[in-house]
A and B are shown apart, each in its own frame.
Chain A
Amino acid sequence: MTKLSSILSMVKTELEMEAKTRYKYLASTLSDFVIFTLAYIAVLFFADVTVINQSYHTNDGTILILIGYMFWNVGVVAMDISTQTIESDSRAGILETEIQSRFPLWVLIMVRSWVTNLITFGYLLIISLITAIVIGQSVLSLLNAILLVMLLSSVSNLGMFGIGLIFGAGSLIFKSIGQWATLLQGIILIFANVAIPYTTWIQAILPFGLGIEIARSLYLQRDVEWITVLVYIVINVILLCIGLLIFNIALQHERKYGSFERF
C-alpha cells in the first residue's frame, strides 16, 4: 500500500471505529450532544450582538458570533485530541501498539482530529437545520456559515493542533496535564474575537483569530485582503511546526528515558 492509500484507509477505519464506539457509549454520546446543543443555543439566543452589529455594520451579529463559536469549538477539538489520545490510549494499553504503527504518532493523532471534527460538523449541521426550522432563520445562511467555517478552520485547526501537540508533549513527559489545556482554552475564549469584535493584533496571533475575520467578511460578502489570508496561513503553519518539533523531541525523550506506561 502507498503512504497516501494507507492514510486514507486509516481515516476510513478511524471514522468507522469512532462511530461504533460512540454508538456503544450512547449515553455519553447523547450527553455530549446535549451540552454541545445547549452551548450553541446559548450563543444563538443569549449573546449580546449589539457591539458586533455596530462593529461590523450589519444585523447579522448572531451569525457572526456563531461563526466565532464554531471556530473555537472545532479548534478546541483539534487542540484536545493530542492529550486525550496519549492519556486514554496509554491507560488502555494501546499506545505501545500505536507507536509500532507505520506512521509517526502525530499522524495518527491528526487523523483522529480530522475524524472528530467531521463528527462535530455533523452535529453542527443537525443542530443548525433544527434551529433554522424552529426559529425561522434562513437554512441557507446557516449552511453558508457552517461551510465557510468548515473550509477555513482546516487552516486554524492546524495551528490549534500544533498547540495541542505541545500539551501532548507535556502528557508524554509529565503524564497528566489535560486540565492545563482546558484552562488555556478558557482564556482564549475570553480574549479571542469569538463573541467580541476583532480589535487588536494580539487576537491575530491566535490560530483562528484571522480565520474568524475572513469567514465573517466572506459571509457578509465583503472583500478579503490577500495579506490577511497569507498571515493566517503562516501563523498556523508556524504553530504546527513548533508543535511537531516539541512533540517529536518529547517522544524521543520518552523512548530513551521513559516507558510510556506510568499513567
Chain B
Amino acid sequence: MKIIGQEITKYYGKNQVLYHCNFEITSNQPGVTGLIGPNGAGKSTLMRMLGGITEPNAGKLLIENKSISNAYDYSAWAQRNSYYVPTGERGLRNKLSTKDNLKYFAALRGKFVPKCLKLLYDTAIDFDAEYLIDKEFDQMSTGQKKKSELMVAVAIGARLLLLDEPSNGLDIDSQANLMQFIQNISNGNNKKVIVSSHDPSLLANVVSQYIFIADGHILKTLNKSLDELELRQIYQHLYNRGA
C-alpha cells in the first residue's frame, strides 16, 4: 500500500505554500519517514494534508492498494487511519490523563474504548512508560507529552502516525530518547511514522526514507537510512547552509 502525492499544490489564502509536489510513501510497512527542511519549507502543510485535515488546491493525494489494483481518494482513508500530533506542547486535553484522553479520542473515532485501553496498557508496558498512563497532560514534561500522544495514537489503532516537529523544546538527551521511542513504536506495533524536522541530527540513523523539502518544493527523496554525517552533507548541499 502506498501514499502517492501527484503535483500537490497548496495555497493559504492567496499565498502559495506548496508547488507541484510529487512523492511516494509506502504505508503498510513499519518504519519512519523523515520530512526534512528548514522552517517555513512546507512540512507542516504537507503533514496536515497527509492527516486528511486539509486538502490540496490542485494535484492528487491517493492511496494505492495493489492487492485490489485500485487507487482511491486519500482524505477519507487518512481520517480513519492516521493520527496527527501537532508541534509544541499541544495535542491532548489539559487536566486529563493519558488514559482519559484516550477514552475521549477513541469515542470520537467510534472505537471500542475497553479494547483501546487494553492496547494502551500493553503499549505502556512494552515501552516502559506506565508512569504516564494516569499522569495529567499538563503535568508532563515536553518529551513525556510527545510519548503520551504517541501512546494514544497507537492505542487508538492509527496505522499512520504524523509527528510535526516533535523535537521542538527538547534537550539533546530527550530528543534521542524520543526518537528511540518513535522507532520502537514503529517497529513494535507495525506502524508507519512520518516525522517532520528541521534538524538533521534528529533524523539520522532512525529514518528509513527521507523527503527533503524547501520553499514548498520537494527537492529530493531517498529511500535508505543515513548516518548523521551523510545526512548533514546532503542537507548542506541541498540547502546551502550548515546544519
A residues apposed to B, CB below 8 Å? 1, 3, 6, 9-10, 12-14, 16-17, 20-21, 24-25, 91-94, 96-103, 108, 254-261
Contact = CB atoms under 8 A, between A and B. Distances in A.
A185 to B, nearest CB: 26
Contact of A94 (B13, B88, B91): B91
Given A17-B96, A24-B95, A96 B104 contact: no
B53 A96 contact: yes
Given A17-B93, A20-B100, A21-B93, A259 B108 contact: no
A9 B113 contact: yes
B86 interface: yes
A13 B55 contact: no
A100 B162 CA distance: 12
A16 B102 CA distance: 13
Contacts of A101: 79, 108-109
A27 B51 CA distance: 37
B135 interface: no
| Nearest 7 pairs of A and B residues by beta carbon | A93-B90, A6-B110, A13-B107, A93-B86, A101-B108, A102-B110, A24-B95
B131 interface: no
B105 interface: yes
A102 B57 CA distance: 24
Contact of A20 (B45, B83, B96, B105): B96
Nearest to B95: A24
B95 A96 contact: no
A260 B53 contact: yes
Interface residues of B, number: 39
Contacts of B105: 97
Nearest to A1: B110
11 contacts: A16-B100, A17-B93, A17-B100, A21-B95, A94-B93, A97-B105, A99-B53, A100-B84, A102-B108, A102-B109, A256-B57
Contact of A97 (B45, B78, B91): B91
Contacts of B80: 102
Given A1-B112, A20-B96, A94-B93, A257 B86 contact: no
Contacts of A14: 104, 107
Contacts of A91: 90
Nearest to A252: B55
Given A97-B83, A99-B53, A257-B11, 11 more contacts: A13-B107, A20-B100, A92-B90, A92-B91, A96-B84, A100-B84, A101-B79, A103-B110, A256-B57, A259-B48, A261-B44
B90 A100 contact: no
A257 B57 contact: yes
A260 B54 contact: yes
A9 B108 CA distance: 9
Interface string B37-53: 00000001100100111
Given A21-B96, A108-B108, A260-B48, A13 B113 contact: yes
B94 A92 contact: yes
Contacts of B109: 100-102
Contacts of B136: 24
B32 interface: no
B93 A259 contact: no
A16 B95 CA distance: 13
Contacts of B54: 254-256, 258-260
B104 A258 contact: no
Contacts of A9: 107, 110, 113
B80 to A, nearest CB: 8
Interface in B85-123: 86, 88, 90-96, 100, 103-105, 107-113
B162 to A, nearest CB: 9
A237 B163 CA distance: 41
Interface in B1-57: 11-13, 44-45, 48, 51-55, 57
A101 B94 CA distance: 19
